[in-house]
Amino acid sequence: MSRSVDVSTNERAYFIEGLKAGIRLNGRRFDEIRYPHNIHLSKEEYGYVELEWGKNKISVRVSSYIRKPFEDRPFEGIFNINCEINSMASAKFENGKNSDEEVLISRIIEKSIRRSNSLDLESLCIIAGEKVWNITVDLNFLNYDGNFIDIGCFGVMLALQHFKKPDISIINGGEDIIVHDINEREPQPLSILHVPVCLTYCFYNITNQQEVNIKGESTSDDIYLLDCDYKEDLLKSGSIIITLNKNREIIQLSKNGGIPIDASLLVDLALGSIKVVDELTDLMKKLIKDHEQQRFDELNLKLLQVGADR
């Protein structure tokens, strides 16, 4: 039994009447996301990121170690994402027990990032069949305010781009390896093939016309909201999660029950998402670049640079 949250009829009425009048209770436009803020990229540790997104708060840590690869995949490194939600985020999540919502969140993030091959696993191979890198992402949800999927995906991708694994040398003709201390040799970033961005749209049937739903026809009155907060999420009558990347590829699409939507609306949503995807990808890129520059300046790495400026 997961703890339930009760919504009063007053809040519901305001929410629905607001939607009819084109107002979201949080003052955003229907297709407006809350942009991440208070982003902290750790200067001491590679791959440690904290960020807030509305009132959502997460911390992500990437770590690595060397292990033997799986028998059937000798050329591939191992990549996994841990995301367990505990009651720190909200008392509605139970400790040590996966609610359907939690499973959905972790599955979608896994599907969007790991199974879309956004991390080049072959580049993680050190000695085929013997030694590969194991990359683990720990995604910790600290505070919940709706839409953990989008924020989780953003956080993981940001942390993966921030992460660097120690440099290695292979010696004795491929028998042994040396893991260089990060202070000895500049560590290597991961090879990321593409950056998936998840966007969740929630649907609302504001007319409450049950009969229409049974017939399977969607009404033009259906309203969708991008990036729902806590309250909007509680009141939703359906949602769709689209994962896209900057190359305009749809990576995954999932719609888990709820009210039916029109096929043409789906195309509109995907097209409408492109702008947001571009913005978020560029934001990640900028954050990483600024951070690198800052580190470069602070550590005076210029002194260590070999080769003349062209």
Partner 1 sequence: MSIILPGDKFPVSRNHDESIDITLGPGLYKSVNSDTILPVQAGIFQSKPIKKQQQLYYIDSNSRRYIPQTNDYVIGTIVGVVGGESYKVSLQDFSSCVLLSMMAFPNATKKNRPNLQIGQIVYARVSNAGNEIETELECIDPTTGKDGGFGLLDESGYLFSITNLNFTRELLFNSESPVLQKLSTRCKFEIAIGINGKIWIKCGDGLVINKSDVDMDIDESSTNNKNSTTNISSKKDILVTLAAVKYLTACQHKSPDQIDTVLTQSFINI
Partner 2 sequence: MTFKVRTSVLDNSDGSAELTTSDVKLIVSITGPIEPKPRQELPNVASLEIVVRPAVGLSTTREKVLEDKLRGMLQAVIVRHLYPRQLIQIIVQIQATPLSKHQGGAYSNHRDEVEYSNVELNAAINGCYFALVDAGIALYSSFASTCISITKPHEINDNQEYIIQPTLDQLNNSSSHHIICFSIEDKKATKLLLIDSLGEFTEEELFTVISKGVEQTELLHENYQRKYISDKIHNDYIWKS
Q: Which positions touch partner 1 (CB under 8 A)?
A: 3, 5-14, 17-18, 20-21, 23, 25, 27, 91-92, 207-209
Name the H helices within the chain.
9-20, 100-109, 148-162, 210-215, 230-234, 263-299
What are residue 79's DSSP bridge partners?
135
Q: Give min distance, CB of 102 to partner 2, in A.
A: 14
CA-to-CA distance for 237 and 175, rounded, in angstroms?
A: 58
Binding to partner 2 (CB under 8 A) within 154-193 occurs at 163-166, 179, 182, 187
Q: Which is nearer to partner 2, 7 or 250 (CB)?
A: 7
Minimum CB separation from partner 2 for residue 47, in Å? 5
User: x/- contact string, 92-131, with partner 2 (CB under 8 A)?
Assistant: ---xx-----------------------------------
Yes or no: say if 12 and 258 are a contact pair by the CB < 8 Å rule. Answer: no
Q: Exactly one of 55, 68, 248, 275 binds partner 2 (CB under 8 A); which one?
A: 55
Residue with token string 């995949």: 73
Q: Which is nearer to partner 1, 25 or 177 (CB)?
A: 25
User: Taking CB within 5 to 8 Å according to partner kind, which of partner 2, partner 1, none is near residue 101?
Assistant: none
- Mention every residue, 6+ apart, whose C-beta is less than 8 A from residue 196: 112, 113, 116, 118, 153, 157, 243, 244, 245, 251
Which residues are at the interface with partner 2 (CB under 8 A)?
1, 42, 44-48, 50, 55, 57, 59, 61-65, 82, 84, 86-91, 95-96, 136, 138, 140, 142-145, 163-166, 179, 182, 187
